Amino acid sequence: MCSQDRMMLPEKVMYNRRRGNHMTIEQFLDKLASASPTPGGGSAAALSGAFGAALAAMVCRLTIGRKNYQNVSAEFEAMLPRAESLRAELLQLTKQDAEAYDRVMAAYRLPKATEAEKSARTAVIQDALKGAAEIPLRVATVCAELLELSQAASTRGNKNAASDAGASALMVEAGLRAALLNVEINLGLIQDADFVSQTRNAIEPLKRIAAKRQSILDTVQTRL
């Protein structure tokens, strides 16, 4: 959609790996495409969700106060700060996911010459793997909430921004599904059966929520 209300995405900070060292979008993508394990799929999942949140926020702003949408203006005024809050959280999770996997790699580099070192190393690895599973689980949880916002935006938001609401749903769903893949790959290495069981139970409803994408797109198609 072309509109004066739309601002071009600036080449701003997308990822802050070290304090005081900001990456532009281009730099982040170059790093993502490199042979370095971080940032990886988990960070990309969080960033995808953040893009979706930004689009949901844009639809809110294009709906609030508009003459033809006065009956839903209050709803979108309440939705906007939540979309912005979730966008900020996902941007932070983009960084945190990479940091979590950096801890996993550091744990694997610990010495293992003696039995004591092996035991200590295993404990640190297992703890790091749990952290590497928890971050993308949070990404998926945030994306699930955002998918609800995308649905509201596609159904009741400014019709001229229907395609943006649909794009929001697609980006958020991609972030959700990609995040869950990153949870599951870490669960395969975790020895704590209770943790694995609890986490698997947590991701099942998130998978079902992701299926909302098609109904949102169907709604968008009727409004284009």
Q: Decide: residue 134, CB within 10 A, 0-12 exposed, 13-18 middle, 19+ buried.
A: middle
Q: What are the tens digits of pLDDT across the range 141-162? A: 999 999 999 999 999 999 999 9
Which residue segments constitute the domains of the chain, with CATH numbers given?
Answer: 40-223 (1.20.120.680)
Write the DSSP assignment of 135-187 as a string of letters.
Answer: HHHHHHHHHHHHHHHHHHHHHHS-GGGHHHHHHHHHHHHHHHHHHHHHHHHHH
pLDDT of residue 141: 98
Q: What are the tens digits of pLDDT across the range 1-31? A: 433 333 333 344 455 444 445 788 899 999 9
Mean of the per-residue pLDDT values of the chain = 91
The angle formed by the CA atoms of residues 91, 31 and 140, to the nearest 5 degrees, is: 35
Which pTM does this prediction carry? 0.89
Q: What's the rounded Cα separation, in Å, for the pair 80 and 64?
A: 9
